[in-house]
Amino acid sequence: MLRHVLLALARSERAERVLSSSPPAKALAERFVAADAAGAVADLTDQGLLVSVDYLGADVTDRARAEGSVQAYLALLAGLHAGADVSVRPTALGLRLSEQLALDNAATICEAAASRGVTVTLDAEEHDTVEALMSIHATLRKEHPGVGVVVQAYLREAAERCRRLEGARVRLCKGAYEAPEALRFGTAREVDRSFVRCLRILMNGSGYPVVATDDRRLIEITSALAVLSGREPSAYEHQLPRRVRPAERHRLTSLGLRVRVEVPYGPGWYPYLMRRLAEHPADLALALLPHR
């Protein structure tokens, strides 16, 4: 029930106007969203961690705003070093206006990223955008084979998506959007089982899995599947949220595993925060804790 409430709040403009200015929401935002992306990236890089920078732009409704999103990504890329990753939401590039527009804008970002040795990951969003997302990804891979894409385990089609993405860089997450009951799993246990099915497919494939969860049990399952599939530590990575479970980051890196930390920033932080809380309701407690 709490998940559905939080996802409804994520979509409500009225709730955003009220909650985005409230002290508790701002305190939580500071936990997850970087006020200074460049500083956060530098700090994490100094710690020997990889980064994935996520520009939180809003869905665009005209071409000028889509171009604005492209320019924001180009400015971001200018300050990133080789090995970094950027997450790109197709709706911020004009997907709701035209798939071709989003594809062209994504291609511009991919070309700029490639020149700096930075990878691009297309981020999954609402269920009705997934087909277009996969189409854009398939087209971009022809010129940019390293471009990644997100698969959300809460959708019933997730395992089949992973099979069809053989050889690709795939970021697997649980997912934090709504969908009709026929298209999604209904319980947390079902989502976890879907996550493990997807993990098994990705670990036994020839692509590059990015395991985006801070669920300790799923992290342990990832390690077991990597051993069983004979996958070297350099052939996959964990992705963890910023300022969440730093001890787990240290534990994984001490084992010689690749760890990438998500660095979200930008004006569209409110819906991101609500979706984050919907996926991890326990994070609400962080509003009561001092910064570490």
Do 172 and 210 meet the contact criterion of CB atoms below 8 Å apart? Answer: yes
Active-site option among 171, 231, 243, 260 = 171
Compute the Cα dihedral for 143, 265, 273, 279 and give only its sign: positive
In degrees rounded to 5, what are phi and psi of residue 260?
A: -115, 135
- Asked if 85 is an active-site residue, the reply is no
- The residues with which 118 forms a beta bridge, in sequence order, are none
Q: How far apart are CA 37 and CA 265, in angstroms?
A: 6
Do 49 and 258 meet the contact criterion of CB atoms below 8 Å apart? Answer: no
- Asked if 123 is an active-site residue, the reply is yes
Active-site option among 54, 85, 123, 192 = 123
Angle of helix 23-32 versus helix 269-279 axis, rounded to 10: 80
Question: Rg of the chain's alpha carbons, rounded to an integer?
Answer: 18
Do 157 and 185 meet the contact criterion of CB atoms below 8 Å apart? Answer: no
Q: How far apart are CA 151 and CA 162, in angstroms?
A: 7
Catalytic residues: 123, 171
